[in-house]
Chains A and B, each alone.
Chain A
Amino acid sequence: QVTLRESGPALVKPTQTLTLTCIFSGFSLSTSGMCVGWIRQPPGKALEWLALIDWDDDKYYSTSLKTRLTISKDTSKNQVVLTMTDMDPVDTATYYCARMRIVGATRAFDIWGQGTMVAVSS
């Protein structure tokens, strides 16, 4: 059974750096084609993709946010970490991690975590 679970602070102050951890089980991020991504969703709004890391340690970032994001993995611990710098109240959202399996040109998140709500406020 594949599961992912996000963890991190529920509240951060403006200008601070957010660090989120995704702990997963049921698959290995060293297997060819495996990826883990981060997606966020502000309250009442649409999903927004943030970052993706693949089995080969290649990293991909949202064009609009890439200057603020860093994604990394620890394969031995089955963990993926996302950091986002210079947090602002508009970054208040539920943050999800999700698994993606790359098969040819197919890119879809087939398993999602439960999400973690992060509020940005002083």
Chain B
Amino acid sequence: SYELTQPPSVSVSPGQTASITCSGDKLGNKYACWYQQKPGQSPVLVIYQDTKRPSGIPERFSGSKSGNTATLTISGTQSMDEADYYCQAWDSSTADVVFGGGTKLTVL
């Protein structure tokens, strides 16, 4: 089955830039999206179609992709950005929606 791999944790100092990666076989041929999930809350879509930001999502959130690795970048990270982040893609060969294992972002 298709898998997306994320680092379990990333730490960043307030005001600095955080980068969270998501890698998968042939991810370069698929669209990736990213969700933010704070404790006790439902996930929120922050990036879709690799680089697009839904309305209402702060500009400090951006997405990119190089080869088979997608990256979520948070510029000027704030304490409110501390959360779990999940990448997701769609495997057209099986029609499966696939989530990464999640990355816990700590702002300290």
Contact = CB atoms under 8 A, between A and B. Distances in A.
A69 B107 CA distance: 39
A107 B90 contact: yes
A49 B48 contact: no
A106 interface: yes
Given A46-B101, A114-B42, A106 B31 contact: yes
20 contacts: A39-B99, A46-B86, A46-B101, A47-B37, A47-B88, A52-B97, A60-B95, A62-B96, A63-B1, A63-B96, A98-B43, A105-B30, A105-B31, A105-B90, A106-B31, A107-B90, A107-B97, A108-B49, A112-B43, A112-B44
Nearest to B84: A46
Interface of B: 1, 30-31, 33, 35, 37, 42-45, 48-49, 54, 86, 88-90, 92, 94-102
A110 B45 CA distance: 6
Contacts of A113: 42
Interface in A23-50: 37, 39, 46-49
Contacts of A109: 35, 43, 45, 88
B99 A48 contact: yes
Interface in A60-115: 60, 62-64, 96, 98, 103, 105-110, 112-115
Given A48-B99, A105-B92, A108-B45, 7 more contacts: A47-B43, A63-B96, A103-B49, A105-B31, A106-B49, A107-B31, A109-B43
B99 A115 contact: no
B42 A96 contact: yes
